[in-house]
Structure 1
Amino acid sequence: MASDTNSWFEDSIQTLTYNRNQRVWSIIVSLFGDLARAPGDRISGSQLSRITEPMAIKPEAVRVALHRLRNDGWIASEKSGRSSFYHLTQSGLVQSEAASPRIYTRDVIYPDVWHLCIPEPLRKSERDEQARIMRREGYVSVAQGVYLGPEVAPKRDDCLTISGDLGVLPRWLKQQISPPQSVKAYEDLEQALDRFAQILENAPTPTPLEVATLRTIIVHVWRRALFSHPDLPDAFFPEGWRGTACRHKVMDALDRLGLPGLDSLSA
């Protein structure tokens, strides 16, 4: 009978993990960014195992992922008796906080005015560094040496800047920003979210651990789709793009599940 009782949970995991090409370290990033992104939050090794085990992630894979994230300076660990606890470093907290508005905002408001920024032409060997600098400043590359930024252009003497509304955007730009594989990723995500919503209709109240597992998977697949393209309004994407629909359905799913307290994950 236990397997019948939990079949909704197993069906949910099967539905939401439709993309089997998952990196464990990235799943751990999603987990901490959703469940333990406040200063002072920490998760034990045994809690991590209980959250990730239903995803068919082996403890050895979790340990390798934690080792990598420690080396990257993203998480830190400490011992308490025989147990290990993990928490975001200051760098990890800052990065999680910076990403959170894009991940969790239900209705994103974009500016009406945008600007193009055209820096000094450079030799090929210098272009990559220029592109990295522009991305750090919040720009999106729309053509070689041409960058798009929000709001009216700031005053700067190192670029030619042009401000205005978006007008009609060319098809080639939309396809460049969201190629076919990105469009398909949102279609697959929406299908999984719709199926998950149907499963929840007849499901019992999830336990805190079940909620933690499901939230981790949902946030992870959402992050994978969301950060595969620049943060831009719908006008920049091809007709039929389902990004905004997926955003609303992700928020609906997370709201319905709620956020479990870390203490509740020890039971």
Structure 2
Amino acid sequence: MFSVSQFALPMKRAPSAPVPAAVRALLRRWRAQRPLRAGSLLVTIFGDAIAPRGAAVTLGSLIRLAAPFGLTERLVRTSVARLARDGWLAARRSGRRSEYRLTRGGAERFTEATRRIYGQSPGAWDGRWTLLVMPPRSASRRGRPREDLKWLGFGRLNPSLYAHPGCTPGEARRWLGNLPGAADGLLLEGSSADLAGDRRLVSYGWDLEDLARRYRRFVAAFAPVESALRARAALPAGTAFVVRTLLIHEYRKIHLQDPLLPPALLPPGWVGSAAYELCRRLYARVFAPAEGYLSATARRLHRPLPPAHSAAYARFGGLARTEPAPSGSFDA
């Protein structure tokens, strides 16, 4: 088992600066979760860190990247094998070593999630709703279609009727074309009589109170981390990687359930906006040193990881293009 302050860098380097207490507390809370969802964290690492750098990495690199979070080698191997069975990852082997990359389907899912997680909040709204009427045979089916529609931002008004304020029927048709059981739905467009009616419609289709509670917990967890890091001129690369990973891991779990309603439909002082700004600021603070950690810790089968592609630097409205030189090297 790894200590909270040990970031398991198998390289020659000078001793790191002490890990801030707020970061140690954050890591302790994550590692105290039961069950410890290794697969979910590996999805975060792949989506946030590996996908922008060629979308492939050795298994040994994943084991090292996961070590600070208390994930054992055995747990990482088991979780990676499960992700491969589920169609997220594909393996390539060279002797006793293996490399995992995103499958085509996995890459497509990551692309849409990336757009939602790191993108800008919705702007002005024209007052139009896109409505989806599901046929009875489709509406009666539980599970996947309903969850897919929720993930796309549709609110469920009743078993057969869904609403979305942020897309046109044409956009919705393209989205629904890839969802089993939803492509045969009827799409309509309309508006309510006034803003009060729009907000009442929101109360029918979305549980904003629960979403707000989850955003408040996120702010409470990461605001002390931002305060602790703000006072530091230099940030250890391992600490930056841990903060960046847990930041996006916790944020994506909430944000991907957020319908991203236009500001006009949200309660005054919507806490989701504060959570977004906190995430944006903290991500910008840790991105570059965490990239240095990735360069030093992870690699492909026969070569280093390539630099992050340009789209990664457009996250949260734009990131600095500076990466500190790695302080050591090692064999994967």
Check whether TM > 0.5. Answer: yes
- Per-residue CA distance 1:120-149 (angstroms, 9 max, x = gap): 662697364895498299461341133213
Which one is further off, 201-210 or 50-59? 201-210
Assess if the C-alpha contact under 8 Å between 2:151 and 2:259 holds in 1.
no
State yes or no: 1:23 paired with 2:37: yes
Choose from 47, 51, 68 the match for 1:54: 68
Report deviation, 1:71. 0.2
Partner of 1:119: 133
Partner of 1:232: 261
Amino acid across the alignment from 2:162:
Y
Q: How many residues align?
A: 266
Report deviation, 1:46. 2.5
Which one is further off, 120-129 or 6-15? 120-129
Partner of 2:162: 147
- Per-residue CA distance 1:209-235 (angstroms, 9 max, x = gap): 443332211110001111233232344
Q: Distance in 1 between matches of 2:263 and 2:225?
A: 25
Which one is further off, 201-210 or 123-132? 123-132
* Identity between Structure 1 and Structure 2 (%): 23
Q: Distance in 1 between matches of 2:255 and 2:191?
A: 27
Amino acid across the alignment from 1:246:
A
Query: Gaps spanning 5+ residues in structure 1: where?
Result: none
Partner of 1:243: 272
Residue 159 to residue 15, structure 1, CA distance change in 2 (3 Å):
closer
State yes or no: 1:12 paired with 2:23: yes
Q: Which residues in structure 2 correspond to 1:132-211 (within 5 Å)? A: 132=146, 135=149, 138=152, 140-144=154-158, 145-149=160-164, 150-151=166-167, 153=169, 158-163=186-191, 167-168=195-196, 169-170=198-199, 173-174=202-203, 177-203=206-232, 205-211=234-240
Assess if the C-alpha contact under 8 Å between 1:114 and 1:165 holds in 2.
no
Q: Name the SS for the 1:258 alignment partner.
A: helix
Partner of 1:218: 247
Assess if the C-alpha contact under 8 Å between 2:216 and 2:271 holds in 1.
yes
Choose from 93, 105, 108 the match for 2:107: 93
Q: Distance in 2 between matches of 1:124 and 1:90?
A: 28
Residue 133 to residue 24, structure 1, CA distance change in 2 (3 Å):
closer
Amino acid across the alignment from 1:92:
G
Q: Distance in 2 between matches of 1:93 and 1:80?
A: 23
Report deviation, 1:119. 2.4
Q: Distance in 2 between matches of 1:137 and 1:35?
A: 23
Report deviation, 1:239. 4.8
The RMSD of aligned alpha carbons is 3.6
